[in-house]
Structure 1
Amino acid sequence: MSRESVVDRHTVLVVDDNASNRRVLRDRIESRGLAVTEAADGRQALDSIRKSRPDVVLLDLVMPGLRGEEVLAELRADGELRDVAVIVVTAVDELESAVRCLEKGAVDYLVKPVKPALLAARLDACFERAQWRTREKQYLSEIEDANAQLERRVTERTAELERALSEVTRLTGKLEQENMYLREEIELTQGVAGIVGRSGAVLSMLAAVRQVAASDATVLVSGETGTGKELVARAVHGSGSRSDRALIKVNCAALPAELIESELFGHEKGAFTGAHARHTGRFELADGGTIFLDEIAELTPALQARLLRVLEDGEFERVGGERSLRVDVRVIAATNRDLAAEVRTGAFREDLYYRLNVFPIACPALRDRTGDVPLLARHFLTRRAAESAKRPLKIPDDAMLRLEQYHWPGNVRELKNIIERAVIVSSGPDLEIPDPIGCGPAPDLPPKGASATLAECEREHIVAVMERTRWKVRGADGAAAVLGLKPTTLEAKMERLGIRRPGG
């Protein structure tokens, strides 16, 4: 910055009770092109400063009346004048005096006589500082204006965003309602975890699924074979907090009694003949997730006791092992038998029953929800037709009526098998439902008061179906398909009920 630009238009007030001293300072300052005013004492100095604020004040300390330090104090006490640059020019060459003046706001302290070059340098420093302060004030003013303008724009924009957010909230609520409605429609037509139906019995069952899914409570699913007990178990698991972990399934009826313990709890190497390596059991595999014990009533008393310990303590040992293992597993069990009756006969442990029956869910038989038959039939038809790449088929009204009137001993699984077989054999646009469906009319039930047990009725029905299918278990025309059972489940039932082919 050039000297001309620094000194241009600046004024200096010289305050000294000695006229000779004032004249010497005036001459030196005016020689640099600066404007100079004078004051003979402190009071005149304050009046002059208030009237026409100078850029710099050269202030003597020892004066009659108001002394220099008192002038400094009044300037610093005045909010409008505290920024005036004051250079003390005095004959008092004392450190204490200089410190006091600087503490009271003086920017410099010069001892008389002052060399011209030193005075010029100190004045230039004050002028530069004044210029920077002026620019700083301008910048601050501009920043304040910009901030005020920004705040106005933010306020306006915030109001716009709040209005937009309110509209988004309204539309989100509307979409959520529509989405809920559509989900309910999809659930009715496509099912929750494969469970299709809109009858009261199914809706109550699904409500129970939603209630228990959020907890880790043990669930006992009951219902006839083919009613969808495994689907209910999957729905409970899939809607709960463990849905990202494994659902391990064990069909207790499909495994031989001598292997079920090893399958559930695992075994150590050498635990028995053929145990060539350590085997991880299903409970270990399900740690952190869910284990589904299907056909729980088929467990032997010994295994029932071991299962009870797992439910109570979360601990077990592998077969042949000594170290206790601890697992965190949710248990869902299923049965097609009346466990309460099994408890009364001593076939099932009472304490285990109560441990399993924390939250019971009953799967309704298809004959008790015939209103769902058309929905289920169309659901299975759509799925099977898509899988087989066949053209769309429709179910004639008379065929649908026969489906609704059939007694469905094999429940939903039997209906699924009937539809799948019909898709395969149908050659025209209509689905060809066999007549009669299944094995014909429902078997006669024993009259009231008859002494036949549930197991005896079940045995008679299986024998009748086996005879009609010429003792064929597997295949599309086998007894398992007719009954709506898995072949392994039917074979286990026949073993349990002592059913043998005559002469076999």
Structure 2
Amino acid sequence: MRGRILIVEDEEMLRESLVDFFQQENYIALSSATLSGARKEVQRHDFDLVILDMKLPDGSGLDLLAEISDPQSPLVIVATAFPEVQTAVKALKLGAFDYINKPFDLDELQLIVERAMDTRQLRGEVNSFRQREKQRSKRSWTRLEGESNILRKMRQEILLVAKAGTTTTLILGESGVGKELVVEAIHYQSARHEGPLLKINCAALPATLLENELFGHEKGAYTGANSRQKGLFELADHGTLFLDEIAEMEPGLQAKLLRVLEDMTVTRIGGQQLIHVDVRIVAATNRDLRERIETGLFREDLFYRLNVFPILVPPLREHPEDIPLLANLFLKEFLLHSPDKSCEFSTIAMECLRKHQWPGNVRELKNVIERATLLHSGGVISPDDLALIGCCSGAKAATEKMVPLSEVEKNHILAVYKKTDYNKTRTADILGINRLTLRRKLKEYGDS
């Protein structure tokens, strides 16, 4: 069925002919001859559309229109006699979708009904999108909750920068710490939350493709540019643009980004027009940008433009007191996909999670719990279910040899690398880090 329509009309012949017509057009069509009857039908059913006569035996159709004018109510098409134009105007002010003069042509009415149904569907999609965005906003903020002072401080910084509508922000932290969650939290806590949040990984595309994605192009700018295309700076207008892995951007493109940050204007590839944009830029990296500056790989002036409000996302090993909260949060999320399964961590398993060094940070923790949830039949999750290399009980941990953190990370990465038969892709997935980071680590260890 194409939708549910209520026809409120006191003329019996017209009312029945409209019901028959719309039923033949594959709508569910119900009717009422009175205002009181229409009220009962609206309470009883969820209608997509009401075709409402203005003059009814027991009152004015405007009374019903005023009662069903909220966003969740059905759309209303007012049917009125030609001399009553002022009444139709009043109906539109009260929220009617459209009006049609009596006597009307059925084809004309059908066009208005189809347009109303399209609008109703679009509104539903927009509401669904907004609900998903609200859920995503809540999820992003929830995953940044914790008992540690270091996370409390970071959440305060996020709220501060969110209130500053255009302040450029640089998110720093190791791979897997949750930099993207910080970006989402900044966007959804800001006045820009109803605007777009667009993301791009600067390491994932060659410089020419990255430039095209960011700035767009004019028709004929290059071979294959058959039409004009807006870039992400334009598409993110009134919203937020997240530039991930900013340290990997080519120096030539860095200069163009600097100009955007200076005057908030862009020029499409092959174009001459300066286009003003209203967008907050948030960049992120797991590299030491000052070190990149010293080696000539990153522009110092761009660094200062990006570093207006830096936020350092701490590695998981620096706030282990938050691991139980995060672990149980991930467990709850994954169990939603298996409603018949119930799991919980044993005390020793949770202690293992707390003591693990997590070189892949929160992403690695999430992957470990997802794997354990998938493979576990239900009940108590033990240390063996976690499959953490080096996982041990508290008693054994107390007697372990104390070693530098860098050595723990190295041993863990190499052990996983060996377990996967030296498969870099699988190793990176298990560790929760990207392949570029893994290759750099292996090169440091002389095992590339």
- Residues in 2 aligned to 1:190 and 1:252: alpha-carbon distance in whole angstroms: 25
Given candidates 301, 304, 309, the residue that maps to 1:351 is: 301
The change in CA–CA distance for 1:241 and 1:467 in structure 2 (over 3 A counts) is: same
Note if contact 1:266-1:279 (Cα within 8 Å) is conserved in structure 2: yes
The amino acid of 1:397's aligned partner reads: T
Once the 2 structures are TM-superposed, how far is the Cα of residue 466 of structure 1 from its aligned partner? 3.9
| 1:9-158 aligned within 5 A | none
Once the 2 structures are TM-superposed, how far is the Cα of residue 278 of structure 1 from its aligned partner? 2.5
Question: Which structure has the bigger radius of gyration?
Answer: 1
- Residues in 2 aligned to 1:473 and 1:497: alpha-carbon distance in whole angstroms: 11
- 1:387 aligned counterpart, secondary structure: coil
| 1:302-313 aligned within 5 A | 302-313=252-263
Note if contact 1:253-1:492 (Cα within 8 Å) is conserved in structure 2: no
Cα deviations by residue, 1:439-468 (Å, 9 ceiling, x for unpaired): 548996669xxxxxxxxx999986764443
Cα deviations by residue, 1:110-142 (Å, 9 ceiling, x for unpaired): xxxxxxxxxxxxxxxxxxxxxxxxxxxxxxxxx
TM-score, structure 2 as length reference: 0.60
Number of the residue aligned with 2:429 = 481
- Residues in 2 aligned to 1:348 and 1:407: alpha-carbon distance in whole angstroms: 31
- Residues in 2 aligned to 1:463 and 1:260: alpha-carbon distance in whole angstroms: 33
The amino acid of 1:203's aligned partner reads: R
- 2:421 aligned counterpart, secondary structure: coil
Number of the residue aligned with 1:221 = 171
Note if contact 2:265-2:274 (Cα within 8 Å) is conserved in structure 1: yes
The amino acid of 2:148's aligned partner reads: S
Given candidates 136, 156, 162, the residue that maps to 1:207 is: 156
- Residues in 1 aligned to 2:438 and 2:199: alpha-carbon distance in whole angstroms: 22
Once the 2 structures are TM-superposed, how far is the Cα of residue 288 of structure 1 from its aligned partner? 1.2
Given candidates 271, 275, 296, the residue that maps to 1:321 is: 271
Question: Percent of counterpart pairs with the same letter?
Answer: 47
- 1:421 aligned counterpart, secondary structure: helix
Given candidates 163, 172, 192, the residue that maps to 2:141 is: 192
- 1:430 aligned counterpart, secondary structure: strand
The change in CA–CA distance for 1:460 and 1:403 in structure 2 (over 3 A counts) is: closer
Number of the residue aligned with 2:289 = 339
Cα deviations by residue, 1:335-358 (Å, 9 ceiling, x for unpaired): 111112222222211111011111
Note if contact 1:419-1:433 (Cα within 8 Å) is conserved in structure 2: no
Once the 2 structures are TM-superposed, how far is the Cα of residue 389 of structure 1 from its aligned partner? 2.0
Note if contact 1:225-1:336 (Cα within 8 Å) is conserved in structure 2: yes
Given candidates 206, 211, 221, the residue that maps to 1:256 is: 206
- 1:293 aligned counterpart, secondary structure: strand
Once the 2 structures are TM-superposed, how far is the Cα of residue 259 of structure 1 from its aligned partner? 1.1
The amino acid of 2:147's aligned partner reads: R
- 1:334 aligned counterpart, secondary structure: strand
- Residues in 2 aligned to 1:496 and 1:256: alpha-carbon distance in whole angstroms: 19
Note if contact 1:418-1:433 (Cα within 8 Å) is conserved in structure 2: no
The amino acid of 2:344's aligned partner reads: K
- 1:192 aligned counterpart, secondary structure: helix
- Residues in 2 aligned to 1:440 and 1:347: alpha-carbon distance in whole angstroms: 38
Once the 2 structures are TM-superposed, how far is the Cα of residue 235 of structure 1 from its aligned partner? 0.6
Find out whether 1:470 has 2:421 as its counterpart. yes
- Residues in 1 aligned to 2:220 and 2:437: alpha-carbon distance in whole angstroms: 32
Cα deviations by residue, 1:182-204 (Å, 9 ceiling, x for unpaired): xxxxxxx9772532312111000
Given candidates 374, 391, 401, the residue that maps to 2:324 is: 374
- Residues in 2 aligned to 1:399 and 1:383: alpha-carbon distance in whole angstroms: 18
Once the 2 structures are TM-superposed, how far is the Cα of residue 316 of structure 1 from its aligned partner? 1.9
The change in CA–CA distance for 1:247 and 1:401 in structure 2 (over 3 A counts) is: same
The amino acid of 1:482's aligned partner reads: I
| 1:451-470 aligned within 5 A | 465-470=416-421
- Residues in 2 aligned to 1:440 and 1:350: alpha-carbon distance in whole angstroms: 42
Note if contact 2:348-2:383 (Cα within 8 Å) is conserved in structure 1: no
- Residues in 2 aligned to 1:389 and 1:340: alpha-carbon distance in whole angstroms: 49
- Residues in 2 aligned to 1:466 and 1:258: alpha-carbon distance in whole angstroms: 34
The amino acid of 1:228's aligned partner reads: G
- Residues in 2 aligned to 1:312 and 1:306: alpha-carbon distance in whole angstroms: 10
The change in CA–CA distance for 1:352 and 1:385 in structure 2 (over 3 A counts) is: same
- Residues in 1 aligned to 2:217 and 2:261: alpha-carbon distance in whole angstroms: 19
- Residues in 1 aligned to 2:410 and 2:227: alpha-carbon distance in whole angstroms: 40
- Residues in 2 aligned to 1:364 and 1:467: alpha-carbon distance in whole angstroms: 28
- 1:244 aligned counterpart, secondary structure: coil
TM-score, structure 1 as length reference: 0.54
- Residues in 2 aligned to 1:458 and 1:273: alpha-carbon distance in whole angstroms: 48
The change in CA–CA distance for 1:251 and 1:446 in structure 2 (over 3 A counts) is: closer
Given candidates 325, 338, 342, the residue that maps to 1:392 is: 342
Find out whether 1:284 has 2:234 as its counterpart. yes
- Residues in 2 aligned to 1:355 and 1:417: alpha-carbon distance in whole angstroms: 35
The change in CA–CA distance for 1:413 and 1:357 in structure 2 (over 3 A counts) is: same
Cα deviations by residue, 1:27-81 (Å, 9 ceiling, x for unpaired): xxxxxxxxxxxxxxxxxxxxxxxxxxxxxxxxxxxxxxxxxxxxxxxxxxxxxxx
Number of the residue aligned with 1:418 = 368
- Residues in 2 aligned to 1:387 and 1:293: alpha-carbon distance in whole angstroms: 32
- Residues in 2 aligned to 1:433 and 1:268: alpha-carbon distance in whole angstroms: 58
Once the 2 structures are TM-superposed, how far is the Cα of residue 433 of structure 1 from its aligned partner? 4.4
Alignment root-mean-square deviation, CA: 3.0
Cα deviations by residue, 1:349-375 (Å, 9 ceiling, x for unpaired): 111101111111110100000001111
The amino acid of 1:199's aligned partner reads: S
Number of the residue aligned with 1:61 = none
Once the 2 structures are TM-superposed, how far is the Cα of residue 382 of structure 1 from its aligned partner? 0.7
Number of the residue aligned with 1:41 = none
The amino acid of 1:296's aligned partner reads: I
Q: Which runs of 5+ in 1 are unaligned?
A: 1-188, 448-456
